[in-house]
């Protein structure tokens, strides 16, 4: 077995490296030996990244151009138009136009995505979801390019190509697609202790969102707000879903992928189509240098959060998505986001992951969209809500130039306007963007700040903040993922890391794999116990809402179903803000008890219960007697029970529930109590239906 030991890497960075074999020297494409493949070149320990870093630039440049024309990551996605409305003025904190006046609206385009899979993969894998927002402000486009998780795997962008190479399909065999359960991913994670916190999040229910409308979004990095007087305030961005947080179960997502690979894309399209517009509140965590210095972690470390109990999230706006693209390719596929796209009043910090992204995204868009003029594609054009933000500069020509500039002045400064000709735009010293004049000093070094050395305390915080049901899901996810790892020493190394997170977690994973627990991995910094953060929970957490608003209720009926019962349930679901979806063995004219006929919205075999949020079963005695012999009907009810959903039923449907193994609990009701029961899942049922680690 290969030994894994802790070594210093890059003047303070930490990694686990294989040491029992000689390796060739790592070089650039031009043959220069590389001394540090862990850190970008910075000005001082916590200073900005330097553009002269040829090792990083060559590495990220090659990586950005590896796939054409599909996005290398976030290829599988969907988007929608909408607006952002400022609900609290931040004029004293930032001069950014969109935050000046309460009630002011700014057009937006939002793209949701999975990270690992290709454009043709499924919507519901265990994966991080991208949450990218393009604000068309009156002073230019601002791109807040985030995820549905507030942290990231790595601390320095020079490791991004390695991360993505490890999680993508294995190079020699071209699989698995859109999955982390394989050797190369976990080999990388086990050797990068800084990724342990993120590993906890990706094994949690956060990577199995029920829909885009029921997941949070985060800007991940620490940014700056800058006001008109030039004063800086640090800020972290949060998107809070109005519909509440809701995730699916692993078994549910697997079956959803088979039933409807486009489930989340379809859900967004249909919500907007029926007027159930997805909505989020924009929250900010605002703090100064003194607060940052007082925390037991570095706020510039992208693998760390600031717990909401330590620094509450202040709600300052709302995001509403109310229009689906007219053409998927022209808008959703061609939209391009860049973290470097700022507006006056918002600025970057020296987060080394963010600093690397500032170069990478711009470079990627040039390659992917085939032209330096990708900003002229309509979805990417600066326009502002009223069209009052044209883009004007001296950049000319290039592939796919679509503008026709007038005049001969393509340089600045010029004096042609004095001769009556077109002189062109000029800089605006008063209102133009100004970078915050932070003082920086230090030697040019490839270095990881010592304040970035604690890789386990926040992973422990996350675990101890979870509801017991979520802890069981996390432990079971680790068991499943590591059971797919064929290289034993990788499993051992990962369990050694988990011992630094929590002994109970590590033991549960080891028991699930029938393996002995190894010694804990060595650490570079003490692991501390932080106060749990209940705000991190989904199950029984502050944003688990008991509601039917925007959610779909499947109503299973058949020949002879009582017409009054069917109507009553449909009306009650609508009154509660839900969307009733009628499902029958056949979709044509289904005869009801009163002699009338009704068309079903969907067919039983094509609309399994995994695609809805709650289930009602309304049958006649005769129909039920037939359906207890129909495997699809039995499975429909069995899955609803197994996925902890509410099941409402009439007396005639009871034999079908019995055949499906449904046991009485608070979520199994008659039709009268169904709608109220349908507003939640029944987590206490889980121990009856599956074994978890």
* Residue 636 belongs to domain with CATH number: 3.40.50.880
**228 DSSP 8-state letter:** T
Q: Which residues belong to the active site?
A: 74, 147
370 assigned to some structural domain: yes
276 assigned to some structural domain: yes
- In total, how many domains does the chain have? 2
Digit-coded pLDDT (tens) for 215-267: 999 999 999 999 999 999 999 999 999 999 999 999 999 999 999 999 999 99
675 assigned to some structural domain: yes
* Residue 328 belongs to domain with CATH number: 2.40.180.10
253 assigned to some structural domain: yes
Residues 6+ apart with CB under 8 A from 243: 213, 214, 278, 279, 545, 547, 549, 550, 551
514 assigned to some structural domain: no
Instruction: Pick 58 or 231 by higher pLDDT.
Output: 231
505 assigned to some structural domain: no
CA dist., res. 166 & res. 168, Å (int): 6
Domain boundary among 339, 357, 380: 380
3-state secondary structure 109-135: EEEEEECCCCCCCCCCCCCCEEEEEEE
Note down the domain range covering 631.
Answer: 552-689
For residues 128-155, give the mean pLDDT.
Answer: 96
For residues 71-88, give the mean pLDDT.
Answer: 96
Digit-coded pLDDT (tens) for 409-437: 888 888 988 899 888 888 787 888 888 98
32 assigned to some structural domain: no
Q: Which range, of 254-263, 330-339, 364-373, 630-639, averages the lowest pLDDT?
A: 364-373
For residues 670-684, give the mean pLDDT.
Answer: 97
CA dist., res. 647 & res. 667, Å (int): 6
Paired tokens of 383: 């326009």
**402 DSSP 8-state letter:** -
């Amino acid at each position: 077995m290969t030994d894994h030991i802790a070594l210093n890497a890059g003047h303070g960075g930490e990694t686990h490296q294989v040491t029992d074999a000689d390796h060739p020297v790592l070089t650039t494409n031009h043959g220069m030996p590389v001394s540090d493949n862990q850190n970008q070149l910075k000005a001082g320990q916590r200073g900005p990244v330097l553009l002269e870093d040829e090792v990083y630039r060559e590495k990220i440049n090659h990586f950005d151009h590896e796939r054409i024309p599909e996005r290398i990551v976030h290829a599988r996605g969907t988007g929608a138009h909408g607006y952002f409305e400022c609900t609290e003025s931040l004029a004293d904190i930032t001069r950014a136009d969109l935050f000046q006046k309460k009630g002011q609206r700014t057009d937006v385009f939002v793209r949701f995505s999975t990270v690992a899979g290709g454009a043709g993969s499924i919507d519901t894998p265990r994966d991080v979801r991208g949450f990218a927002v393009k604000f068309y402000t009156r002073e230019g486009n601002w791109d807040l390019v985030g995820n549905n998780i507030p942290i990231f795997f790595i601390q320095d962008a020079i490791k991004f190509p390695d991360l993505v190479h490890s999680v993508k399909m294995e190079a020699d065999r071209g699989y698995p697609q859109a999955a982390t359960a394989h050797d190369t991913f976990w080999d990388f994670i086990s050797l990068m202790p800084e990724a342990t916190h993120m590993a906890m999040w990706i094994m949690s229910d956060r990577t199995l969102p029920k829909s885009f409308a029921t997941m949070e979004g985060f800007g991940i990095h620490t940014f700056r707000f800058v006001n008109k007087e030039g004063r800086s305030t640090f800020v972290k961005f949060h998107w809070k879903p109005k519909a509440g947080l809701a995730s699916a179960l692993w078994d549910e997502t697997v079956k959803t992928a088979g039933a409807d690979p486009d489930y989340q894309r379809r859900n967004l399209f249909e919500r907007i189509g029926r007027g159930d517009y997805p909505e989020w509140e924009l929250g900010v965590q605002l703090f100064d240098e003194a607060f940052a210095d007082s925390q037991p972690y570095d706020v510039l470390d992208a693998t760390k959060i600031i717990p909401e109990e330590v620094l509450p999230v202040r709600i300052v706006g709302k995001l509403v998505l109310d229009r689906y693209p007219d053409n998927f390719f022209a808008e959703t596929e061609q939209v391009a986001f860049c973290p470097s796209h700022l507006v006056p009043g918002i600025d970057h910090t020296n987060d080394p992951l963010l600093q690397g992204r500032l170069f990478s995204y711009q470079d990627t868009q040039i390659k992917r969209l085939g032209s330096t003029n990708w900003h002229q594609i309509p979805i990417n054009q600066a326009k502002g809500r009223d069209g009052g933000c044209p883009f004007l500069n001296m950049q000319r020509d290039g592939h796919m130039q679509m503008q026709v500039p007038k005049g001969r002045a393509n340089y600045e400064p010029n004096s042609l306007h004095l001769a009556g000709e077109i002189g062109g735009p000029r800089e605006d010293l008063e209102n133009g963007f100004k970078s915050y004049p932070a003082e920086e000093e230090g030697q040019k070094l490839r270095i990881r700040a010592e304040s970035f050395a604690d890789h386990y305390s926040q992973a422990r915080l996350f675990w101890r903040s979870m509801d017991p049901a979520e802890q069981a899901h996390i432990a079971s996810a680790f068991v499943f993922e590591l059971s797919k790892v064929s290289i034993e020493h990788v499993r051992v190394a990962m369990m050694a890391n988990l011992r630094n997170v929590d002994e109970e977690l590590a033991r549960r994973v080891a028991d699930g794999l029938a393996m002995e627990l190894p010694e804990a991995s060595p650490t570079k910094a003490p692991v501390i116990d932080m106060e749990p953060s209940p705000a991190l929970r989904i199950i029984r957490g502050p944003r688990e809402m008991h509601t039917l608003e925007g959610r779909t209720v499947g109503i299973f009926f058949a020949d002879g179903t009582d017409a009054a019962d069917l109507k009553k349930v449909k009306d009650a679901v609508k009154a509660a803000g839900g969307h009733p979806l009628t499902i029958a063995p056949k979709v044509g004219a289904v005869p009801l008890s009163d002699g009338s006929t009704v068309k079903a919205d969907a067919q039983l075999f094509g609309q399994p219960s995994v695609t809805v949020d709650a289930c009602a079963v309304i049958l006649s005695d005769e129909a039920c007697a037939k359906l207890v012999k129909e495997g699809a009907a039995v499975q429909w009810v069995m899955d609803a029970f197994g996925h902890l959903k509410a099941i409402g039923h009439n007396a005639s449907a009871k034999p079908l529930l019995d055949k499906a193994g449904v046991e009485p609990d608070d979520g199994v009701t008659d039709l009268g109590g169904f709608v109220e029961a349908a507003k939640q899942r029944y987590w206490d049922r889980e121990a009856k239906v599956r074994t978890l680690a």
